[in-house]
Every structure is written in C-alpha cells, then in structure tokens.
Structure 1
C-alpha cells in the first residue's frame, strides 16, 4: 500500500514492504482535520522483525503553543484498525505480583498485557539489556530513543549496531528545531554549565519524550535502584507514571515498567557478557552512565556512575526530568535537597569528642579567617536528614583518624533559622554539604562527590592539604 501526503509546504510518501499491496491512496491537506495549535507528531515507528501487525502511532502530539512551528513529520498509517476495548489493569496488584520477579518475567508480562501500546525507552547505555530481555520473550516489541542532537558519535554508531543485531528500527524522537534554535541563540551552546541543565534537558529530552508517551499506554525503562541512591532507591518494578500522560490522557493514564529495578549494575553487565550483547564503546573508556556528550564524562575507579553526569551540579540535579517523579517534594527530597522550613524534633547527630560543634558566630569567624592555624573540615547538616544520618559513622571515624593531624573536623547545624545563612554563605543546596577550609585560603572548597565514606573524604582532604 502506498500513502502520499501533500500540502503547500511538504510532501511525504509511505510505502508498504508487502509487494502484494499495490493500491495507492492520495490524501491532501483538505482531508485532514486538526484542532487549533495541534499538529501530527513525527512518528516513524519500529517493531521487531517478528511483528506482523501494524502499529498505532507512538507520538500523538499534545496541544502546542502557536508560536512553535512543526517541521515536516512522518506519520504511520496502520493497515489494521484495532477497536477492541483496552483491558483495565490493576497496577497495585500487578506490582505486588512482580515485586520479586526476574527481569525476563517482568518484560514478558509487560509485553503480553500492553502489546502495541508499550515501548522500550533506549538511551544507548547498558539498558540494551532491556532489548535483549524483550527479544528473549519471543514477543513483538517496540523501541524508541531520544536523539537530542548532542550525543556522542559512539552512541550513534551503537544505535546502528543494535538495529542490525536485533533486526529492528529504533523510533527516534527529536526536539523541536525552533525551540532548540531559540535556546541556543538566546543563551548559547553551553548555557547549562552556568545556570543548570534543566532548561536544555526540558527542550531536548523532556518535551520529545512527552510527545512520544502521548501515543502509548505504558513504557519500559532501565532504571535501577543502585543507579542513584538519592533519587532511585525506591524505584518499583511497575508503577503508574507520576509525571507523564499516556494515550487516554490525564493522571494515571500511563504505566511505567522498570524490569531491572532490583538488579545490581554488576549483574546487568554479567548478563550482557553472557548473552554476547553489543554495548556502547564508551563503556570501555570509563563511561558508565551515558547521556549527551557535553554533560557526560568518564568516572574514576570507585566513583559512583552518576558522578559522570552533570558533574558541575549538586546531587539533587542528577535527574534530567525524564524520571522527575523520583524526586520527593518534601522537606528533604531524594537527595537531601532543601525545600521547606519545617524542622522535625529529632536528636542531634555527629556526636563525638573529636568533632567541634560550631555555632553561628563560630562558622562566621571561620569564614572570615584568611590565614588559619589549622585546616578545617565542616559538615553543614540537618539532624533529621536521612543522608546526614547515613554518613554519621564515617564522619565520626574520619574525625578520629584526623585527630592531631592539623585538620580539625567540625559540624554546623544548618537547619531552621540557620538555613538561609547557610544557603547564602556556605553554598548549601542539599543536606549534607561538606566544606574544606584550607590553612592559607579564605575560600571554602565544597566537596563535590556523593560518596561519603572515610576513604573518599580523606582523598578529598589530602588533595587540598
């Protein structure tokens, strides 16, 4: 079957791979009815080669601002219209049933229940494991990826390798060219280094993803609990997506499967090696978590994988927005980020004779000193913060190791009335914030890592002494 679409500004043609279907269909712009501000979304959808049934468009376009002009779009025209009612799935029960299931079992159940209405989100990193699991089920499956325009060359080559290995076509989603142009012309190519990555990610990733998910009832991600202890430690294997909407629209209209949520990173790699799955060549260069080229770098041995992403920002910014629902909007978010002013009544922490308890005047004096007799290590914390509590043992041990070394270890309760001061003077954006005051420098150096074990803290101190 051939389908041609023509208008005054563009012409798009589609042809069926079935040689027996020769009848042509001509569609003109006068035949198409769109509501004001809505346009057909780009949707060249791919399947595994086992798929025999036509596919519904993945990216039903949401209403958009009239100032955004769409580029020419590819639109799939299914040969078969499926009017069967959609089964209502009890997500809470399904989650309990799959809580301890294997990734293969979770993947099989997801594909069984949602068929053409579900797709795998593929980033070009180790979540190729998801494609392998889908392939092992023997069921048809769909894969989509976000091409931000800023990916590494190695990632593009990897996309091509994966397509050939599995005999599929990845469904690429692209950012709106006009939005990208406006961002770059207004703020430059690398504005995210100065004012944070959220705006760029919103244009290049979040909005294209939102368009893609509007054509689905469920999606599959490669999130793991050990990827980011601050934001992903409670990721379930199946959930109602808390952020995005699906095909039917409205809250609760999209289901999110995380088949490898309970799998450790090492086990993922053992699986990939065992199954001889192709992987991104950047992994061999020290890259673990792979995103856009300007925002991704390799990590050193012992560093957490997310430290290679947006390394110039605080821990609370380690999500690009695709999984924003992981971040809790409470007094402390998933990374200890400061959101509110409520101070729960809890016992103080970091209690040790080797740790100096600094008052507000004490920390102010330390800030003013330009020539200190000793170097100082100071943690700005909130007693109720679970991440502060989690590092208490290692910080106490650090103080014991540094006793008499010329480095004093201290704490400053930056909660409650002191929070505004700490945010302005101590670079506080999340609890805990760890600062090192060198002996002969007036400037405090902020500890940049999420690793708060004794060895990591000592390495930081020794690098600045």
Structure 2
C-alpha cells in the first residue's frame, strides 16, 4: 500500500466530528480575566508600534487568532503592516479572507508567494504529493512555500507579530509574549496567554470575519493537503500533518531560536 493511499481522512477517523457546526456556538465563552488579557494585548500592540515605527508587520495565517489581531490593529489605527503567505496550496476559503480584510478594514494585505521556479522544480522532481512521502520532503515543501516567502516579508523589518498561543500545542507551551530572535529581530506573541474560548468570544463580540473552515472542525488551518478536520477528543493541531509524529508538527516558521525578554517568558 502506498503512503498516499494509506493516509487516514477525517471521515475515516473513529469518533469523527460532524461535517459542519458553528465555531462560535462551540467555543465562544467569556472566562475570568478575559478583559485583562484583551487590554494587555492592546497595550503590547501599541507599544510595539511605538518601538518599531514603520518597521513591524503582522504575519497572518488568516486563522482565527490572526483575524483577532488584524481586527485590533485596524481598530486601534496602528501603523503595523499586515502580510500573509499565499503558498499556492491554501484552501479557497482561506484566500477569500484577503479581500474581506481589505474591504472591511481598509487595509492593504501584503501577499508573499513562493518563487515560481522553485515550486516548479520541486514538483517536477518529487510530485504534487511529496509532503506525504517523508518528513524531509514535507519540510522542503514548507521551506519553498512558507519560509522563503516569510524571509522576504520580514526582510529589513525590525519586528513582527504572530498569533501563537501556549494552548495550541505542547511545542508552543512556553511561547513568550515577546522574544528576541538570534538576528536581533523582535517577535511579539500578544495572544500567548489567550484561550481558545477567548479567541471566539472576541470574534463573536466584535463580529470578526473568520475562515468558514473553522465551522468544519478545523481549529488549525494550513495548506489544503496538510490539513484535515479533527475528531472529538483530538488535540488542537491534530489535523495538521496528521500522518507525522507529534514532535515534527511544525513547518519551521516559528522554530527560530530566540531569547525571551525578562519575565515575559514565563508560561501560563
């Protein structure tokens, strides 16, 4: 049996979730400390914009967390650019959020795509489904489609903002609110201590647009070949690269060695 044909699909998983629901109905809850977490995020975003005038970007995956951040950046009128990676393998529902953001907030989203020649060479050599064949090939695909475009997004910028949260996975359990990368660039993770309930409570309260795939039990959404719905009881990122060992489940975008700043590195 080939590696491709043996891969499980969401419909084949025991205890698989229904085809669709409402992410807001499922997850939006007001929890203790919510207002304080929102205010702390606002304060950090404002200070980040002051500390890096004209040289800071939100790198958005267009997921629920990043839509919250974009909403805050726009409503606060902060001079923080918004950029995303169009890998060429995104779901149509994900790509559809780009014009929605631009229309609703009056922001121009910077879109960074992989080098066409690199993609063509990789696909010709390894095929369209190379990501299923080995971790190395999957990471090579991520390198071409994500990491190289991200390097262009961050080129000459002093800082960037992400939607990373500690609750997302064991690998992210110690995500600090602010960290300094080896190259000196500052990385802000202002939602680090937010819960999944917080994210959806904010979305519901402020009517924030979001990827409709979240209503199909996809809490973490990446490229289409590498994302599936999760089943009841599965971990948050179980639908990402589900055929791989749990320890391998990062694309490399957030694997840069960094130095947390002071007490902000303490995990919740």
Give the 5 Å matches for 1:8-407: 102-126=40-64, 127-196=66-135, 197-229=138-170, 231-242=171-182, 251-252=183-184, 254-325=185-256
TM-score, with length taken from structure 2: 0.78
Whether the 8 Å CA contact 1:228–1:306 is kept in 2: the answer is: yes
TM-score, with length taken from structure 1: 0.46
Whether the 8 Å CA contact 1:238–1:257 is kept in 2: the answer is: yes
1:215 to partner: Cα distance: 2.3
1:180 to partner: Cα distance: 0.6
SS at match of 1:307: coil
Give the number of the structure with larger relative contact order, counting CA–CA contacts within 8 Å between residues 6 or more apart: 2
Q: 1:215 to 1:305 in 2, by over 3 A?
A: same
Whether the 8 Å CA contact 2:83–2:111 is kept in 1: the answer is: yes
1:156 to partner: Cα distance: 1.1
Whether the 8 Å CA contact 2:114–2:149 is kept in 1: the answer is: yes
1-structure distance, mates of 2:235, 2:105: 31
Q: Which residue of 2 aligns with 1:385?
A: none
Deviations along 1:301-321, whole A, 9 cap, x unmatched? 322220010000001111100
Q: Larger helix proportion, structure 1 or 2?
A: 2
Count the aligned residue pairs: 219
Bigger Cα Rg: 1
1:325 to partner: Cα distance: 2.9
* Structure 1 residues not aligned, in runs of 5+: 1-98, 243-250, 328-465
* Structure 2 residues not aligned, in runs of 5+: 1-36, 259-268
1:139 to partner: Cα distance: 2.3
Whether the 8 Å CA contact 2:220–2:240 is kept in 1: the answer is: yes
CA RMSD between the two structures: 1.7
